[in-house]
Amino acid sequence: MKKRSLGSGDARTPVPDNRPPPMFIADHPGLDFLNSIGTPVDSVIEWIGNGEDLLAWLSEAKLIDPAEVASIRANSFPGELDEVAAQARALREWFRDFVRSHMGRPVTAKALNLLEPLNRVLERDEGYGAIVPRPGNHRKPTSASGFELRRLRRWSTPNAVLLPIAEALAHLVCSSDFTLVKACEGKICTLLFLDTTHGKARRWCSMTLCGNRAKQAAHRQRSAKKRNEVTKAKNSPQRHRAHKGKS
């Protein structure tokens, strides 16, 4: 468990208590993970500063069942989850470099060697399949069987919480069009997203954040331009000559 394929940095990062909720605006959990640190407004926010942060983020991202969080916590020694959170942050920044160097164009098989760190995380998996009751209205089943085959996972070590993250990153690489991976056009925003809009013209992480700020900035620019034009018109030589002629 102590062996690391990626540098982990500090195991615990100080985090303020007044952070806003994590942002899930990327339309893909792999990119949402990259957005678990970001500058959506005017300062950097880290949502995975320690082990408890990591469990909370995974639960909110629906990458782990909230019912399993207590079991993972109970099976971890003090400080272990903080170390795993540090590994998650290292994985995040490694994958951010990969995404930023490949976004805007298709990912080809030539990139396989670059993905070796991700494959090393995936090979730790102790997942298995199990037949479980099918959720939904059992009185009116939607299929011939009341069961489904579901993929489950043994959380035998704290490091196992990296696996649902690694799967999300792998699905992004294998199933998503990297030509549609974009960075928010906000001046200081660092958030990424997958453009799934009909016209593929999405520009902002969120219209309520960067989109709204861009509109306000454009309005201020137009207003300032209009004021300058009015001032120039008042101070123009033609206006002064016309005023003297009248007097």
Q: Are residues 174 and 94 in the same domain?
A: yes
Task: Please list the alpha-helical segments (H only) found in 1-115.
Answer: 29-34, 51-60, 66-74, 80-102
Q: Is residue 74 part of a domain?
A: yes
Q: How many domains does the chain have?
A: 2
Domain hosting residue 171, numbered range: 29-129+156-201
Q: Is residue 190 part of a domain?
A: yes
Q: Which positions ≥6 away from 50 have C-beta within 8 Å?
A: 11, 12, 13, 15, 81, 82, 85
Q: What is the mean pLDDT of each run of 10 residues along the chain (247 residues)?
A: 48 72 96 94 91 97 93 93 98 98 96 97 94 75 81 92 98 98 92 96 87 56 55 63 57
Q: Are residues 160 and 111 in the same domain?
A: yes
pLDDT score of 18: 82
pLDDT score of 2: 38
pLDDT score of 144: 80
Q: Are residues 116 and 67 in the same domain?
A: yes
Residue 213 tokens, joined: 């700020």
Q: Are residues 187 and 232 in the same domain?
A: no
pLDDT score of 49: 97
Q: Is residue 81 part of a domain?
A: yes
